[in-house]
Amino acid sequence: MSQKLRIGYVPEHFSMPLLQLAATEWGKEHITIVPQPSGTGQMLTSFNAEKPEDRVIDVAIALTEALIAGLAKGRSDYELVGTYVKSSLNWAVITGTDEKASKYNSIKDLQNTKIGISRIGSGSQIMASVMALQHGWTDANGNVQSIEFKVNDTFANLRNGVNQHEGLETSAFMWEWFTTKPFVDSGEVRFIGNVPTPWPSWTIASSKSISSEQKKTLEEFQQKLQETIKAFTNPKNETESRQAIEKHFDYKPEDVQQWWSGVRWALDQREPLANASSMKGQNANTKTVSKAVLTQTLDLLEKAGVFKAPQGGWDFSKFAESSNLVD
């Protein structure tokens, strides 16, 4: 039997086309999907740069900013190979409903407080720095002030942290809006703001240590994932696709409808979003990565203090092979 390709993913609504592909006969034979509920930070750990033989996943469908930041900071064990979701991700800023959290009512209330994150290098950490930049948490030289982070690992721990559970206490954390909404509806946590990404939200990355057989499977996977996305987003299939998300994730139909109207996957078959002309990387697909998105993300994350650019600028070959890059 051929060696299966292990695909790391976050078990959220964005993953539905992947889940559908995994359920096909081809998917059952060629891939294994590996849930990474703590997010992209967990996937970066699962690539395991220090011990390739202990690698948990071979491919990650993960947050664009965290994958790029990892490579910018020196990771060399993986590379970007494609684009999955080309629309923005709406990061919610979340605090608790515990009485001790009542003083946090807007993003401005969070400056100089302890922010919860899932992992070091995670999207929740990187986007907190972007939030700080956008809201002027800077020193006299314009540099983003150092943020005190608390690593709470899981989504449940992050929610407990903002509700002041002992050993987990934080003022707020950031997570995807609709994933969090059921816990807002239940009264467990509160929304106090949001920070949409200015770049396409989900990117496909591959370990550089996969076998030649797995590389062939990866190419086939990228093609079949694109075909699945096209079918999933065909307007004729919209009702069925939305119902699949509602059933699998137990989401309210009205929440799925609102989210569905604002998301676009790579080569989505629906009409472009109203802001598509201002969002870079709209021509990328599951086999390509946009150089414009790389440039934009690197520039903004440097301004946010996530890393510093090397002298002479960035070498894109450290992020993706030239054959995978498009303008």
Residue 140 has pLDDT above 90, yes or no: no
How far apart CA 148 and CA 113 sit, in angstroms, is 7
Give the tens place of pLDDT for each residue, 114-126.
Answer: 999 999 999 999 9
Residue 50 has pLDDT above 80, yes or no: no
- The average confidence (pLDDT) of the chain is 95
Give the tens place of pLDDT for each residue, 266-275.
Answer: 999 999 999 8
Quickly state the pLDDT bin for 48 (edges 50, 70, 90).
confident
- The mean per-residue pLDDT over the stretch 205-209 comes to 96
Please tell me whether residue 85 adopts helix, strand or coil conformation.
strand
Instruction: Name residue, tokens 């996530």.
Output: 306
Residue 1 has pLDDT above 90, yes or no: no
Give the tens place of pLDDT for each residue, 230-249.
Answer: 999 999 999 999 999 999 99
Quickly state the pLDDT bin for 2 (edges 50, 70, 90).
low
Record the pTM: 0.95
- Domains of the chain: residue spans and CATH: 5-88+199-326 (3.40.190.10), 90-196 (3.40.190.10)
Q: Taking Cα atoms as reference points, which of 9, 8, 10, 13 lies closest to residue 250?
A: 13
Give the tens place of pLDDT for each residue, 19-30.
Answer: 999 999 999 999
Q: What's the confidence (pLDDT) of residue 306?
A: 95
Give the tens place of pLDDT for each residue, 249-262.
Answer: 999 999 999 999 99
In 3-state terms the chain splits into helix, strand, coil percentages (rounded to 5) of 40, 20, 40
> What b-and-e string marks burial along 179-189, b requiring 16 or more CB atoms within 10 Å of the CB?
bbbebeeeebb
Give the tens place of pLDDT for each residue, 146-155.
Answer: 999 999 999 9
The CB-side HSE value for 222 (13 A sphere, CA atoms) comes to 23
Compare 142 and 188 and report the one with higher pLDDT: 188
